[in-house]
Amino acid sequence: MKKLKLEELGRISVEEFKEAEKLPVCIVLDNVRSLHNVGSAFRTADAFRVEKIILTGITGTPPHREIQKSALGATESVAWEYFESASEAVKNLKAEGYEVLIIEQTTGSIPVHEFVPALEKKYCLVFGNEVDGVSDEVIALGDRALEIPQTGTKHSLNISVCLGIVTWELFRKLKL
């Protein structure tokens, strides 16, 4: 066994990425304050060919040096938009036919591994602020809430880790 070199990985170009079929998923970042988390969201969205990222409220936007540190160029491949309000962004996505999945621990949330996506639907994954989580206004607009089961002493995961797990789970169920 040996580690593969970059040229052996067979990755597509940014231009090919933009033209390629996407996972029918978009990601909304609801007031995410860490620029490293924003960059990680772009890198994960690139890895799983997510349609787009919607940045809202205080969430930083490219171009920014701190976002680029984690994104490693993914801000060039992944489409993104900015909305002042996460609830406005979610309302627009619902009007475009997306089912809104709130990634949060709520009274009605189900474990992410129990969620069965429909192949004909489009999904919007909403991730919230590192301290306050997804805003109450956006939770009220959600169609469902998903959470990652945890058994340790902490009540949450870092948003970049959570985003990776949930996006992988949808990718796995929709594309593999």
Q: Is the pLDDT score of 159 beyond 80?
A: yes
Q: Which of 86, 75, 85 is nearest to 52 (CA)?
A: 75
Share of the chain above pLDDT 90, in %: 97
pLDDT of residue 67: 97
Give residue-wise pLDDT tens across range 3-51.
999 889 989 999 999 999 999 999 999 999 999 999 999 999 999 999 9
* Per-residue pLDDT, 6: 84
Q: Flag whether pLDDT at 176 surpasses 80.
A: no
For residue 127, give every residue at least 6 positions away whose Cβ sits within 8 Å of its Cβ, in sequence order, or none.
27, 28, 29, 30, 32, 41, 103, 134, 159, 162, 163
pLDDT at 7 (0 to 100): 87
Q: Hey, where are the domains in the chain?
A: 20-148+155-175
CATH of the domain spanning 20-148+155-175: 3.40.1280.10
pTM: 0.96
pLDDT tens column, 68-85: 999 999 999 999 999 999
pLDDT score at 141: 98
Q: Is the pLDDT of residue 133 over 80?
A: yes
